[in-house]
Structure 1
Amino acid sequence: MPDELWIGAERLRLRPYRLGDFDDMHALMSQPAIHRYPSREPFSEEESWTRLLRHLGHWTEFGFGFLAVEERASGRFVGEAGFSFFRRGLAAEFGRDPEATWTIAPEYQGRGYAREAAMAAQDWADNKLGLSPTLCMVHADNAPSLSISRKLGYREIGRAVYLDQPVIFHERVRGSGGAEHL
């Protein structure tokens, strides 16, 4: 895993997860507010540990994955963003390409951090990794994430039910236009 990788954004820094990030990541994933979309229970310690190991494994096998998001000014962990192969068992066309995702801790929401982190991660995926197309899945009622996906240039390609919740599938092809920041 590239320990030296740091992706800079205006107010944030993104870097690959490390084992030492477990406490911060578990604190994030065990908050009920994080699991509003889709509605599910907060993660147990075991589920957070499995998630962290999945993130680390992505870097080993694919050369990309989730990134820990830190606030530049304070150095505090504020969330995560990045790309993953989730293998959700949904439609065949949704699972063949890396899926973008972003999550910011509730106490840091409302500051534009999710947008900033997602844009920095997408820029990195486009310009350093050449990942294209990329996908994302957003709960149909999650207006902030739907707005971010549009700003990144993602376009709706389908709808389904995942974990008993309505979701919208999006795809972004590099160079197809539409991303406001790229």
Structure 2
Amino acid sequence: MGLPWDFRTIAGERVTLDLLRDDDLEALFEMQSDPEVCRYMLSEPRTRERVAEVRERDAAATRLEKTGDYVQPAIRDASGALVGTLYFHLTSVDDRTAEIGWALLRREQGKGYAREAAALMIDAAFGEIGLHRVYAELDPRNEASVALCLRLGMRHEGHFVEHMWSKGEWTDTGIYAVLEREWTARTTG
């Protein structure tokens, strides 16, 4: 297994995964304060001060070594502008499992950036880090994220009804996942 794994810039055809920078604050604030972007997330829209705190914390998360470690790189377009963020959380070293998630500025949604960014990270998860399983937990009402999971070749594994109390209501949780052998067969087949 490739742990510990230090995050490095990962470039794709149209997007690059890169560490968060100080100059990302305005775009992050635009994204994380937008009620539509935050609708299916666990957090409420954030203040500028809270976004600055979270950016500083997440920018420092650069290594996957033990259960609970995470990276949250910026998703950048060809010009280098931040269009969103990717979340990658090592949930079990023993089981070689991680959770993936994404968020994009509303004006950048629907352009394929999240798909390419997630695919780059899943490639690294299986090819470099040596993981066995990558999964996404999401609110099944988030049709765009469900569709993205399916486009990535993730299978629907579960639907937990009224699984958590979030933002004043009981919400369901959907689980989508892909195994290393499935990803490898899909990308080489």
Q: Are positions 1:165 and 2:171 aligned together?
A: yes
Higher gyration radius (CA): 2
Q: Name 2:72's counterpart in structure 1.
A: 66
Q: Is the 8 A contact 1:119 1:181 kept in 2?
A: no
- How many equivalent residue pairs? 172
Q: Name 2:142's counterpart in structure 1.
A: 142
Greater fraction strand: 2
Q: Is the 8 A contact 2:59 2:73 kept in 1?
A: no
SS at match of 2:147: helix
Q: Name 1:81's counterpart in structure 2.
A: 86
Instruction: Please give the residue correspondences for 1:20-39 in structure 2 after superposition, counting only pairs within 5 Å.
Output: 20-38=23-41
Gaps of 5+ in 1: 87-95
Q: Name 1:92's counterpart in structure 2.
A: none
SS at match of 2:88: strand
Q: Is the 8 A contact 1:154 1:171 kept in 2?
A: yes
TM superposition shift of 1:122: 1.2
TM superposition shift of 1:130: 1.7
Q: Name 1:111's counterpart in structure 2.
A: 111
Gaps of 5+ in 2: none
Q: Is the 8 A contact 2:83 2:104 kept in 1?
A: yes
Q: Deviations 1:49-71 (Å, cap 9, x if unpaired)?
A: 44334424542463761110111
TM superposition shift of 1:99: 0.8
Measure, in 2, the Cα distance between the counterparts of 1:129 and 1:166: 31
Q: Deviations 1:15-44 (Å, cap 9, x if unpaired)?
A: 122455334323321111211224863112
Q: Name 1:89's counterpart in structure 2.
A: none
Instruction: Please give the residue correspondences for 1:38-53 in structure 2 after superposition, counting only pairs within 5 Å.
Output: 38=41, 41-53=44-56
Q: TM-score normalised to the size of structure 1? A: 0.77
Percent identity between the aligned chains? 25
Q: Is the 8 A contact 1:100 1:136 kept in 2?
A: yes
Measure, in 2, the Cα distance between the counterparts of 1:107 and 1:181: 29
